[in-house]
A and B are shown apart, each in its own frame.
Chain A
Amino acid sequence: MKPFAYANPKTIEEAVKLLGDAWGKTEVLAGGTDLVTSLKQNLTSPDKVVSLKDVEGLSGIVAADGSLKIGATTKLKDLIANAEVKKNFPCLVTAAESIGSPQIINVGTVGGDLLQRPRCWFFRQGYGLFGTYEGAALVPDGDNRYHAIFDNKGPAQFVNPSSLAPGLIALGATVRVHGPSGTRDLPVAELFATPKADTDREYTLKPNEILTYVSIPMKGLKNATYEIRQRIGLDWPMVTASVAYEDSGGKAANAKVVLGHVAPTPWVSDKAAAALNGQAVGEDSAMKAGAAAAEGATPLSMNGYKVHQVKVVVKRAVMASMA
């Protein structure tokens, strides 16, 4: 780890001013469960780290104007424990609880979960965001069992790791972002983008912007998440799906189906949504949605099993949403 300056601002304006306009020069620190590892492994070597710990107004959950606003530094444990979240957004509770490690849930934040860097082992072993060695891409012929099956023509073939993002996108949530020239709001889906250069990041946030809160409309959507996890304890899911839809007399309307761990971004499946819309929600439509979600997948040499798992997670998420 390279020595760095540490800033502990009190206001969001102050915090934003401390940030530089190029990635890697400065980094934002929330719970630190991801950033500190990245610092130690020299995946990033900033000159300055800006902590959000003491920034006022970034933490907490409030209901206002028909939305639930969740501050960026709200701990995952507080998200799980919140009564409104429990009642309205089971898809988020399942996702956050399944992270499985009390240590991470107690320290990790909602903003940090959304903006954590990919877990791709080539990236984490120091071969860069796209995993290259002596100019050649390592993922296509290497061990790509956990890599993308959609949007994976390269150079990005990692998967987005956030467990909360698919649920938030399915619920139609937006984020507020604070930059040097004020604030902007954008749908969570638009927070993520597949990078084209390995100096890019996997999100559309700018280097000098801070995510301040997530806003979820409380529209009474039915929703659920299903994840395939190998172990019970701390682990990464293999594939996940979050679904949300309006329940119009037992039929789904305005459905959204979002997959996790299948693409460099959370993966919105319009085909799966179309298979649900207007249909009676049940085993039959759940299976059809699952099959539709898997359409168009382009698995790599070792991750064909994920295509099958996509069908299963979507089916099971739909079934869980009926509970």
Chain B
Amino acid sequence: MAKTAWPAPDRRKLIGSYTSRLDGPQKATGAAKYAFDINRPDMLYAKILQCPHGNCKVLEVDTKEAEAMKGVAAVLVEKDARSGALPEITFAGDTVATVAAVTEEIAYEALAKIKVKYEVKPPLMDDRNPANVSGRESKTATGDAVAGFAAADTTIEGYYGLACVTHCCLEAHGQVCEWRDGDLYVWPSTQNVSGYAGGVKDTAALPLEKIHVDCQYMGGGFGSKFAADAWGNIGVTLSKMTGKPVKLMLDRDQELKIAGNRPSSYAKVKVGVKKDGTITAWDSNCWGSGGQQRFSLRTLPYVFTGIPNQNTLANGVITNRGAQRAWRAPNHPQGCLITMAALEDAAAAIGMDSLEFFKKNLSLTDKADIYAEQLDIAAEMIGYKQKAHLRGDKTPGPIKKGIGMSMHTWGGKGHPSQCSVTINPDGSVVAQLGSQDLGTGTRTAITMVVAETLGIPMDKVRTELGKNSYPASGASGGSTTIGGVSASSRDASTKALNVLLDKVAASLGVPKDNLEAWDGKIQEVGNPAKSVAWEKACSMMGMMPITQQGSNPPGDLTELTTDGVGGVQMAEVSVDIETGVVRMENYAVVQDVGLIIDMKTAESQLFGAMVMGVTYALYEEAIYDNKTGAMLNSDMEFYRLAGLGDIGNFKVHFMTDEKYQSRGVIGLGEPPVISPGAAISNAVANAIGVRVSELPLTPDRVLAALNQGGVA
């Protein structure tokens, strides 16, 4: 009988292999249809009129002229959900009205004809000023900080911060809605196929079974696409009002303004250290803003949670920008930067090599052994021994080089997931689940697991996901997808296989407990001589296919997915101390991640995270005007993302020893994006001899830091 547990290393053909995405060709040729690409007969285009003010009350909306335009099908004015009155608006870019028209051009023109009167109030935008806090205070104290600092030989005091960044998904948010025969069909770009319908059901006034969600391909979400959102509900309403399909996708400008952001965080930190590198105390006062959402950063100190004698205080500033959303590893990149930068400053203050300092203090983390091993590997990869120097590159000339490092941690256990697997009498196999492939390779990984379990090639298995009519599977957030879907698909395919083995046992004359699926055959365990080919075996089931449901956690409660990974990253940068420009040289990524299903897409996760990490470390920042509250760089020109020329050389390494892999599958979406800000900031400090307090590390900030000291 086949067992649910993951196969032993010598029984893995597909799991752990470099397998290309199955839908790569479709994506490259354009055959893959994203929400943006869905076109329905007679479809209308909806466009949103955005409020230009960060803080105001809408007094009057005159839509007469817009409504009278030829080609305009409907104009929907935004109302307060509870009172039904015209709304108070608390961030620029929020919706005032929406037009549905037969072409995009007419919709835009109609927007220009809507006349709005506002009562404008000053917005609060300054999140750097701690005097503005009004969020939720959180305080912790462990040990005796006073005594801890008294015991230190040196106490450093530093200020560190990260700007607000957005998700900037390649595919903007939005959806196409269509009513047909009393049912609602929605094609959204979503991270939450099985849960999406719940977000529009009240607007649609339909039972959930009448709402059909379909998302086959997705251009990223990073935590910003869990909900149906205001625009989802507007689309449903407009489609209902007009009786026509309605496409409502955000423009790039709106995507950047209103579709989510990562909270900013700023902190004053004190660290006490002894001359020998022992950390004796930590004190942090942190604030930041989640926009309209209450926020306080509770990830300090990060990774080195065992620092004795800590005081932490965290609070938030409510600003007039859109509400924060989960951003790839929520609150970890901020905690990581603030902690690793402060600790590295402490090492520099006592003249100690950073690597030695971090190693010495690993007992303050909960993964000392893993980090120790990873630090050595990363050091080897980046050539630390040959290149390392204490803070401040003494090489003559304007170009200074430096290395910095950081460590991170994440959970990543699989979410609840259900999957159904059908084995057809002709040997073809279909797996179905209400999950989604954000572009990460989920579809490919599921296919690999099912094919591996059944001992057949991947092209015999079709994986169908992206519809809420399939067995429900969790939302893709927190690196929970790969663990969830690989477990449920393993469970379902194992169960289906066992039904098949039952049918084949008699004809092979082998008890079913002694059968296995291997190499395109059903065979006696370890004995290909006693076997029957897969197709032949399947034909024995008669006319009825076998369908089995599997789940995470599996029915027999086998643990296929676990929690908790560590990673180390090292960055090498060069800094032109005359211009302030930072360039990436080399980057080493060492990641522990449990059992890897697809090595290739797993590596892609690391590469993608690195590009995103370099971007928020060096370039990315949502810039708002303090008088209007408007985002000033809501375009791809000044909302800078790293390009190919900017990212330097990446090297990646996975911890693939059996002791790591035997823990089962663990998610990888978040962990690698946590450290880049800290590692790159530390590398710049190492290069130029002074800390640049805030990310992104733009030339103006680098030059300002150099004015305070350093090698210049």
Chain A positions near chain B (C-beta within 8 angstroms): 1-3, 42, 119, 121-122, 124-127, 133-134, 136, 138, 141-143, 145-146, 228-236, 238, 302-303, 305, 308-309, 312
Q: Is the CB of B646 within 8 A of A231?
A: yes
CA distance A236 to B623 in the complex (A): 17
Set of chain A residues within 8 Å of B642, measured between Cβ atoms: 231
Set of chain A residues within 8 Å of B109, measured between Cβ atoms: 1-3
Set of chain A residues within 8 Å of B624, measured between Cβ atoms: 143
Beyond A133-B627, A138-B625, list 13 extra A-B contacts (CB 8 Å): A119-B637, A122-B625, A133-B628, A141-B627, A142-B632, A228-B580, A230-B619, A230-B640, A230-B698, A231-B646, A233-B643, A305-B704, A308-B703
Q: Does B120 contact A (CB under 8 A)?
A: yes
Minimum C-beta distance from B33 to chain A (A): 25
Q: Is the CB of B699 within 8 A of A124?
A: no
Chain B CB count within 10 A is highest, among A122, A124, A230, for: A230
Q: Which of B112, B619, B627 contacts A42 (CB 8 A)?
A: B112
CA distance A127 to B623 in the complex (A): 16
Q: Is the CB of A142 within 8 A of B578?
A: no
Chain B CB count within 10 A is highest, among A42, A127, A229, A305, for: A305
Set of chain A residues within 8 Å of B52, measured between Cβ atoms: 126
Set of chain A residues within 8 Å of B699, measured between Cβ atoms: 228, 230, 238, 305, 309
Closest to B704 in A: A305
Q: Is the CB of B632 within 8 A of A122?
A: yes
CA distance A79 to B67 in the complex (A): 49
- Give the dominant DSSP class at B's interface: loop
CA distance A38 to B634 in the complex (A): 15
Minimum C-beta distance from A105 to chain B (A): 15
Set of chain B residues within 8 Å of A3, measured between Cβ atoms: 105, 109
With A134-B120, A138-B628 known as contacts, the answer to whether A305 contacts B105 (CB < 8 A) is: no
Closest to A290 in B: B578
Q: Is the CB of B623 within 8 A of A143?
A: yes
Closest to B120 in A: A134
Chain B positions near chain A (C-beta within 8 angstroms): 52, 105, 108-109, 112, 120, 578-581, 618-619, 623-628, 630, 632-635, 637-638, 640, 642-646, 698-700, 703-704
Q: Is the CB of A233 within 8 A of B627?
A: no
Minimum C-beta distance from A48 to chain B (A): 17
CA distance A6 to B117 in the complex (A): 34
Chain A CB count within 10 A is highest, among B52, B109, B643, for: B643
Minimum C-beta distance from B102 to chain A (A): 14
CA distance A149 to B470 in the complex (A): 61
With A142-B626, A231-B619, A312-B578 known as contacts, the answer to whether A124 contacts B635 (CB < 8 A) is: yes
Minimum C-beta distance from B194 to chain A (A): 37
Q: Is the CB of B579 within 8 A of A121?
A: no
Nearest first, the 10 A-B pairs at minimum CB distance are A232-B645, A233-B643, A305-B700, A121-B632, A312-B578, A228-B579, A305-B703, A142-B625, A231-B646, A233-B645
Q: Is the CB of B627 within 8 A of A121?
A: no
Q: Is the CB of B632 within 8 A of A233?
A: no
Minimum C-beta distance from A21 to chain B (A): 26
CA distance A40 to B637 in the complex (A): 16
CA distance A1 to B618 in the complex (A): 35
Set of chain A residues within 8 Å of B120, measured between Cβ atoms: 134
Closest to A306 in B: B700
Set of chain B residues within 8 Å of A232, measured between Cβ atoms: 643, 645-646
Minimum C-beta distance from B251 to chain A (A): 10
Q: Is the CB of B640 within 8 A of A143?
A: no
With A228-B581, A230-B640 known as contacts, the answer to whether A125 contacts B627 (CB < 8 A) is: no
Set of chain A residues within 8 Å of B627, measured between Cβ atoms: 133, 136, 138, 141-142
CA distance A233 to B632 in the complex (A): 21
Minimum C-beta distance from A237 to chain B (A): 11
Set of chain A residues within 8 Å of B700, measured between Cβ atoms: 145, 302-303, 305
Set of chain A residues within 8 Å of B108, measured between Cβ atoms: 1
CA distance A125 to B630 in the complex (A): 9
CA distance A210 to B624 in the complex (A): 37
Closest to A238 in B: B699
Closest to B581 in A: A230
CA distance A234 to B644 in the complex (A): 11
CA distance A308 to B581 in the complex (A): 13
CA distance A136 to B627 in the complex (A): 10
Q: Is the CB of A121 within 8 A of B638?
A: yes
With A1-B105, A138-B625, A309-B699 known as contacts, the answer to whether A231 contacts B643 (CB < 8 A) is: yes
Set of chain B residues within 8 Å of A235, measured between Cβ atoms: 640
Q: Is the CB of A312 within 8 A of B579?
A: yes
Set of chain A residues within 8 Å of B637, measured between Cβ atoms: 119, 236
Set of chain B residues within 8 Å of A1, measured between Cβ atoms: 105, 108-109
Closest to A45 in B: B112
Q: Is the CB of B580 within 8 A of A305?
A: yes
CA distance A230 to B581 in the complex (A): 6
Closest to A42 in B: B112
CA distance A136 to B630 in the complex (A): 15
Set of chain B residues within 8 Å of A231, measured between Cβ atoms: 619, 640, 642-643, 645-646
Minimum C-beta distance from B74 to chain A (A): 21
15 CB contacts below 8 A, A to B, read A1-B105, A3-B109, A124-B635, A127-B628, A136-B627, A142-B626, A142-B627, A142-B632, A143-B623, A143-B624, A143-B632, A145-B700, A231-B619, A231-B642, A232-B646
Chain B CB count within 10 A is highest, among A3, A121, A235, for: A121
CA distance A71 to B698 in the complex (A): 38
Minimum C-beta distance from B615 to chain A (A): 10
Minimum C-beta distance from A129 to chain B (A): 16
Closest to A226 in B: B579
CA distance A141 to B625 in the complex (A): 9
Closest to A124 in B: B635
Minimum C-beta distance from B622 to chain A (A): 11
Set of chain B residues within 8 Å of A42, measured between Cβ atoms: 112
Closest to A305 in B: B700
CA distance A266 to B556 in the complex (A): 74
Q: Is the CB of A309 within 8 A of B579?
A: yes
Set of chain A residues within 8 Å of B643, measured between Cβ atoms: 231-234
Minimum C-beta distance from B274 to chain A (A): 38
With A1-B105, A122-B632, A228-B699 known as contacts, the answer to whether A143 contacts B646 (CB < 8 A) is: no
With A2-B109, A142-B625, A142-B627 known as contacts, the answer to whether A229 contacts B646 (CB < 8 A) is: no
CA distance A143 to B631 in the complex (A): 11
CA distance A46 to B120 in the complex (A): 30
Set of chain B residues within 8 Å of A127, measured between Cβ atoms: 628
Set of chain B residues within 8 Å of A124, measured between Cβ atoms: 635
Set of chain A residues within 8 Å of B635, measured between Cβ atoms: 124
Minimum C-beta distance from A43 to chain B (A): 13
Set of chain B residues within 8 Å of A308, measured between Cβ atoms: 703
CA distance A228 to B633 in the complex (A): 20
Q: Is the CB of B646 within 8 A of A233?
A: yes
Set of chain A residues within 8 Å of B619, measured between Cβ atoms: 230-231
Set of chain B residues within 8 Å of A126, measured between Cβ atoms: 52
CA distance A125 to B638 in the complex (A): 12
Closest to B647 in A: A232
CA distance A142 to B623 in the complex (A): 10
Chain B CB count within 10 A is highest, among A134, A228, A308, for: A308
CA distance A238 to B578 in the complex (A): 13
CA distance A27 to B698 in the complex (A): 37
CA distance A126 to B634 in the complex (A): 12
CA distance A234 to B120 in the complex (A): 37
Q: Is the CB of B640 within 8 A of A141?
A: no
Minimum C-beta distance from A154 to chain B (A): 16
Minimum C-beta distance from A240 to chain B (A): 12
CA distance A273 to B469 in the complex (A): 74
CA distance A303 to B701 in the complex (A): 11
With A136-B627, A230-B698, A305-B700 known as contacts, the answer to whether A121 contacts B633 (CB < 8 A) is: yes
Closest to A126 in B: B52
Minimum C-beta distance from A124 to chain B (A): 7
Minimum C-beta distance from B168 to chain A (A): 15
CA distance A235 to B626 in the complex (A): 25
